[in-house]
Structure 1
Amino acid sequence: MARTFRIAALAILTLWFGSAGPVSAAPQDRPVRAVATFSILGDLVRQVGGSHVTVATLVGPDSDAHGLSPSPADARKLAEADIVFVNGLGLEGWFDRLIRASGTRAPVVVASAGVKPIPAQDEHAHEDGDHGHGHGDHAVDPHAWQDVANVRTYVANIRDGLAKVDPAHADAYRAAAAAYLAELDALERDVRAAIARIPPERRRIITTHDAFGYFAAAYGLRFIAPQGVSTDSEASPRDVAAIIRQIRKERVPAVFLENISDPRQMQQIARESGARVGGKVYSDALSAPGGPAATYLDLMRSNLKAFDAALMPG
C-alpha cells in the first residue's frame, strides 16, 4: 500500500514538474541554488560554496537518508536548482525517480565519483556460526564519508561542479576548497592519534547499522551491527541473539546509539549482553544546528570523543 502511494505521488509530481525547462548557468545577481541529498553532503557544499551558494537539503539533520519518501516540496527544490549533489554508491535509492518527477535540467554531481568503494559487509556473519542473514541489496557500502580521505574527493567534485555552473566565482571555490582540505588534513591526524591511544584489544564497537565500514578500514576500529548498510529493514531476533552472544564471547566494551535510529533495540542488546552504552554517534546525518555534530568536522570529532570516552580503560 505504501509503495503504491509513493508511485502515485511521484506520478502527480511528474504532472506538476515534468514540463520544467532547462536550467541555465546561475545568474550573476544571485547565489547559485544548490540542492544536496542529505545533511552531511549539504555541509560540504556550504564549506566550498560560501556566500556564493545557497544550499537546500532533501534529508535534514537527524534524519535517515536511506528511506526518503519524496514529497512535492522535494521535487520543487530540484526543479528550482542550478546544481544538484548526490552521494551515489546506492545511498539514495529514491533519487532517480524523484529527479525524473521533478523535471529539472540541473546538472547532477555525484560527490563520491572517484572514491574506491568497499563491499557491503555480510553484517551477520558472526563467529558463532550464524551466517547469511543480510538485510538489503547494496553491493557496496555507500558511507564513504566516514573515511576522511574520501571526503577530499567529495570536496574536489563539489568544487569542480560549482565552478562549472558559476565560472565567475571559480577562483573563490578553489580557494575555499583548498582551505577546507587543510582542515580535513588536521582532522585526519587527530582521528589517527585518538584511535592509536585506544588499546588494540578494546577497539571493538557495536552500532545500530553498518555505517562505519570505511572508518574501520581506514583507522582500525572494528564495528558490529545488527542491521546492514541500509536501515530499510529491521534485524531479526536471531540476528540480535547472535550479536549478544558475540559481545559476551569477545567482551566487546561498548554499544553506541546512532542519531538516525530507534535506540530501543540497541538498549536491549546492551542490557542483555552487559556491554556499556557509550552514548550517541553520528553516522548518516548531522545533528541539528547548535548540536554537537552540526558540521562534518564536528561530527567526526564528536564521534571520536564518544569512542575515546567509552573504550579507554579506567
Structure 2
Amino acid sequence: MKVLLTLLLTSILLVTTGCQETSEEVDSNELKIVTSLSIIADMTEEIAGDKAEVNYIVPLGEEPEEYEPTPSDFQEISDADVFFINGYNIEAWLEQVTENVTDVDVIPIAEEGPKIPLEGTDDIPDPHLWLNPLHVRDYYVDKIVTTLKELDSENSEYYQEKADEYIEELEELDKYIEEETNKIPEDNRLIITSEHAFKYYGDRYGFDTNGIWELNAHEEGTPQQIANIIDLVNESEVPAVFAESTVDPRYMENISDETGVELAKEVYTDAIGDEETNADSYINMMKESTKVIVENLK
C-alpha cells in the first residue's frame, strides 16, 4: 500500500508539474506587442485577439507629438516582440527610443499610404491617415496582420480571420460616416479645429478643413493664426467649431468667444477615449466624432 501510495503521489506530482510547464510555455509564447498610440493598439488587439498582449506608450489624453518617453517606456519596448508606430513623424520622440532600444523591430504601419501634405509644404505628409477608415483597412490592417503572421506563423489563419472580420467592421464604419455626413448641407461642410487634423477625413467625406496650426508639434496659437481662423469663421458663417480631446480647448474657446459661434463637444483625433466615454475604441471614436460633427453642422 505504501509503495502504491508513493507511486500515485509521484504520478500526480508529474502531471501537475507538466501542466504548469505547459501553462508557462503558452504564456511565454504569447506575443508581446507595443504600439506608440492607443489607436494603433486598439486596431492591433482586434487582429491579434487572445494571441498577444498589447500595450501602448502615449497615455490617453496626451499629445503624441510632444510626449516624452519614460525609462519604463524604454523597458516595455525592449521587452516587446515588435513596436508598431504610425510614422509620418507624429512620434517626434522616436529618435530617443531608437537610440536606447536596438533589438526590437520598429514597424511604421502608415507610411505606404497616400500623403496629403501639411499646408505650406510640398512633401511633408500629415500623419492622421487613420481618420479615413478605408486607409486603416488598406494600410494599417495589412501591415499589422502581415507582421503577426511573420512573428507567429502557426496562428496565421487565426490572424487572417480576425483581420477579415475587422475589415468588414471598417467598411461598415465608412458607410455609416458617409450616410451621416451626407445630412450636412454643402454650405456647412467646414471642420475647424485647433490642430488641422481632419484632412484625410475631409478628403474622404467631402469637407473643407482648417485649423489654427498644422500639427501639435508646431503648436503656436499666434495672434495672426487666431486672427486668420476668426476671419474664416466669420466669412464662412459655419455654425460650430471643434476642440479635440488631446488639445487644450482654450484656443478654440477664444475663437468661439470672438466669433459668437458655438464651440461643440470635443472630437477625437490622436487617441481613443477612456472606458467612460463613447469613444473607447477606434471605431467608437470615429462614430462619436462623426456624431458631434453632424449634430453641430447639419
Under a length normalisation based on structure 1, what TM-score does the superposition of the two structures give?
0.83
1:250: which partner in 2?
236
1:19 alignment partner in structure 2: none
2:293 is the counterpart of 1:310: no
1:148 to 128, 133, 136: 133
In the alignment, the residues of structure 2 paired with residue 75 and residue 27 of structure 1 have an alpha-carbon distance, to the nearest angstrom, of 25
The answer to whether 1:75 aligns with 2:74 is: yes
Runs of 5+ unmatched residues, structure 2:
1-24
Q: 1:253–1:275: 8 Å Cα contact kept in structure 2?
A: yes
Higher relative contact order (CA 8 A, sep 6+): 1
Contact 1:67 1:232 in 2 (8 A): no
The residue type paired with residue 117 of structure 1 is K
Instruction: Report the AA paired with residue 195 of structure 2.
Output: H
> How far off its partner does 1:88 sit?
0.7
**What is aligned with 2:6?**
none
Deviations 1:1-23 (A, max 9, x none): xxxxxxxxxxxxxxxxxxxxxxx
Distance 2:95 2:130 in 1: 21
**Which letter does structure 2 place at the counterpart of 1:272?**
E
Whole-Å Cα distance in 2 between the matches of residues 300 and 70 of structure 1? Answer: 27
Structure 2 residue corresponding to 1:107, chosen from 105, 129, 147: 105
- Per the TM alignment, residue 265 of structure 1 is displaced from its structure 2 partner at its CA by 1.1
Aligned residue for 2:32, secondary structure, equals: strand
Q: Is residue 215 from structure 1 mapped to residue 175 from structure 2 by the alignment?
A: no
Q: Is the 8 A contact 1:78 1:99 kept in 2?
A: no
- Hey, what's the Cα distance between the residues in 2 that align with 1:113 and 1:139? 12
1:130 maps to what in 2? none
Q: Partners in 1 of 2:65 and 2:283 — Cα distance?
A: 22
Amino acid at match of 1:114: E
Equivalent pair of 1:162/1:170 in contact (CA under 8 Å): yes
Q: Is 1:34 aligned to 2:19, yes or no?
A: no
Aligned residue in 2 for 1:119: 117
Query: What are structure 1's unaligned runs of at least 5 residues?
Result: 1-25, 123-135
Residue type at the aligned position of 1:75: F
Q: 1:157 to 1:236 in 2, by over 3 A?
A: same
In structure 1, which of residues 164, 172, 190 is the aligned counterpart of residue 150 of structure 2? 164
Which structure 2 residues correspond to residues 121-200 of structure 1 after superposition, within 5 A? 121-122=119-120, 139-152=124-137, 153-200=139-186
Q: Take 1:167 and 1:208, find their aligned partners in 2: how far apart are those partners?
A: 44
Letter in 1 for 2:293: F
What number of residue pairs does the alignment pair up?
Answer: 273
Superposed CA RMSD: 1.8
Distance 1:74 1:264, change over 3 A: same
> So what's the TM-score if we normalise by structure 2?
0.87
1:260-299 maps to which residues of 2 (within 5 A)? 260-299=246-285
Instruction: Give 1 or 2: higher helix fraction.
Output: 2
Shift of 1:137: 11
Spell out, residue by residue over 1:32-59, the C-alpha distance to the aligned partner (whole angstroms, 9 max, x if none).
0000001101101111011001111011
Give the 3 Å change call, closer, same or farther, for CA 157–39 of structure 1 in structure 2: same
Letter of the 2:107 counterpart: V
Write the distance in 1 (CA, Å) between the matches of 2:155 and 2:27.
9
Question: Closer, same or farther in 2 for the Cα pair 1:303/1:200, shift >3 Å?
Answer: same
Percent sequence identity is 28
Structure 1 residues 241, 113: CA separation in 2 closer, same or farther (over 3 Å shift)?
A: closer
Q: Deviations over 1:55-107 (max 9, x none)?
A: 1101122221111111101100111001110101111121132122023x222
Q: Is the radius of gyration larger for structure 1 or structure 2?
A: 2
Is this contact kept in 1: 2:191–2:198, CA < 8 A?
A: no
CA offset digits 1:238-292 (Å, max 9, x no partner): 1101211221111121111100011111101001111111111001111112311
